[in-house]
Amino acid sequence: MTRDALFAPFEAIDGDRSRGLVLLADHAGRQLPQEYGDLGLPAAEFDRHIAYDIGVEAVTRGLAAALDVPAVMAHFSRLLIDANRGEDDPTLIRQLYDGTIVPANYPMSDDERERRLDRYYRPYHDAVGSVIASVAAESGHAPFIFSVHSFTPAMQGRPRPWHVGILWDSDDRAVRPLLDMLARDPAMVVGDNEPYDGALRGDTMYRHAIVNGYAHALIEIRQDLIATRQGIDSWVERLVPILEEINRLPDMHVVKQFGSRTGPI
């Protein structure tokens, strides 16, 4: 049996589904199945943000443990295939990322693209859908979905001033209280749809939250703030009471259709 046969595309962390909260981490891992080697890249590239979201795995584990809620984390590197993109997105499998050419991703045959979708991307999203459905069933109401990501302190030579950003499309039920609570710290620079815009058709939030009418938010924490154990613990401690308070809001557990700024659902 090859290592690839043992490769787990995702990890599902158990928790109290009756609480109605689900944590997701699309870019938690940087692993590659053995058959892909290193994708033709130096090992140092897998320490960079192009391979995974630095600090996110530990933050997600900490939140899941402290809140006693389920979580699903992707193990595979975003350089293999990006779990937070639609299947038809041109950046689903990147050939060039932040100045780095990925040799094994060019050229990309249709068969190889489908293979990565079937073996890694779709099993992750199937697991996400399954956990969300189980939370809805056991809690008896619509779940609140919270997705954890991180971003680089600078991009293409430009510093990013935000400590944290909240990404969203059109449903702001969880976003507004989250922004307000984070901004209670006067030293905190909080971005509203920064450093990215949250309206991305086909991404994880679109696929599992917007389409279903579930309240949700995606947090982006600056990577230098969660690069150490102390920083990770600090952010877990900060977010736990905020998420608990938001999760108690009645509007978080009602199905509402808001559509999408990317166009009709």
Residues 6+ apart with CB under 8 A from 203: 84, 85, 86, 89
pTM metric for this prediction = 0.96
User: Mean pLDDT throughout 240-264?
Assistant: 96
Instruction: Please give the Cα distance from 82 to 128 (Å, whole number).
Output: 15
136 inside domain: yes
Query: Could you tell me the CATH number of the domain that includes residue 18?
Result: 3.40.630.40
Confidence (pLDDT) at 244: 98
How deeply is 103 buried, as exposed, middle or buried, from its count of CB atoms within 10 A (0-12, 13-18, 19+)? exposed
Confidence (pLDDT) at 2: 40
* Domain region containing 211: 3-253
Instruction: Please give the Cα distance from 93 to 91 (Å, whole number).
Output: 5
Confidence (pLDDT) at 5: 62
181 inside domain: yes
47 inside domain: yes
Write out pLDDT tens, residues 15-37.
999 999 999 999 999 999 999 99
13 inside domain: yes
76 inside domain: yes
55, 227 in Cβ contact below 8 A? yes
Confidence (pLDDT) at 3: 45
22 inside domain: yes
User: Mean pLDDT throughout 169-196?
Assistant: 98
Helix residue ranges, H only, 51-105: 56-67
Q: Report how many domains make up the chain.
A: 1
Cis peptide leading into residue 153 (ω within 30°): no
Write out pLDDT tens, residues 66-98.
999 999 999 999 999 999 999 999 999 999 999
- Crossing angle of helices 229-247 and 175-182, in 10° steps, is 130
54 inside domain: yes
**Strand partners for 167:** 218
262 inside domain: no
